[in-house]
Amino acid sequence: MINIYTIFKKELLGYIKSPMAYIVAASFFTVTGFFFIASVSDAFSEASIRGFLAGAVFFLIFLSPALTMRLIAEEQKLGTMELLMTSPLKEHEIVVGKFLASFSIVLFMLAGTLFYPIILFIFGVPDFGPIFTGYLGLVLYSCSTLSIGIFASSLSSNQLVSLVVGSGILTLLTFIDFVSERVPGILGTILNELQLGGSFSVFDTSSFGIAEKGHFADFARGIISVYDIVFYLSISIIFLLSTILILETRRWK
């Protein structure tokens, strides 16, 4: 635990000192704020955060790889990964420490959006259930996207490549329902179950929200599904373990 905390502290301080984290955070607040305002600005709009959720899930496709692209890629580029590999640190301690640092930054950003539901409670009568489950779903979704971003960062020493690969994987898993609808049989069903986010109407300001399918759909409707929780945790564990295996492979080369 001490080694994990050491890595976590180092990376967290790196985020605080780097302008990238502030740029990403500012972009996140701008995008989610726009979708939230657009979703509640009509005369008969619903007092909910569904617009915010749509913008957040969509933007995390690019935000998570941007936050994680340097975590391992930069270590490889600067040659400090070899120092970490020859230190008493274990591979899982390195990966978990870096993951927790990036996850903390996302939690800080989500905490900064809590004034959205506060505004709803001041000017309306929103349902607390969907707000709570929506944020719970965002936390779990963030775990998955960050783990995929760290995995992409371990594949190359080039941060731009890591960003593109991470965003590409997330885009595929988010919009895989379009593919699954055109693939017949059990393969189409399997592909549909791999959909990471929900089918959000993020480009049509008259229909902000999420479709009736997707692992995020129940969270947006105020339903806590054990199946969806297990799915997001499984995705996170699979990609974090894959990253650990990649680092272990390099240790023995």
Q: What are phi and psi of 44, to 5 degrees?
A: -115, 35
Q: Looking at residue 179, what is its pLDDT?
A: 60
Number of domains the chain is built from: 1
The b/e string for 18-27 (b: 16+ C-beta within 10 A; e otherwise) is eeebeebbee
Q: Looking at residue 209, what is its pLDDT?
A: 47
Report the pLDDT averaged over residues 3-19. 88
For residue 168 the two structure tokens come to 């590409």
The radius of gyration computed from the CA coordinates of the chain, to the nearest angstrom, equals 19
For residue 104 the two structure tokens come to 């903390």
Domain containing 32 equals: 2-251
Q: Looking at residue 177, what is its pLDDT?
A: 63
Task: Report d(CA 3, CA 105) in Å as an integer.
Answer: 20
Q: Looking at residue 108, what is its pLDDT?
A: 93
Q: Looking at residue 101, what is its pLDDT?
A: 94
Indicate whether 85 pLDDT > 60.
yes
Task: Report d(CA 135, CA 127) in Å as an integer.
Answer: 13
Residue bearing the bigger pLDDT, 193 or 10:
10
Report the pLDDT averaged over residues 75-102. 80
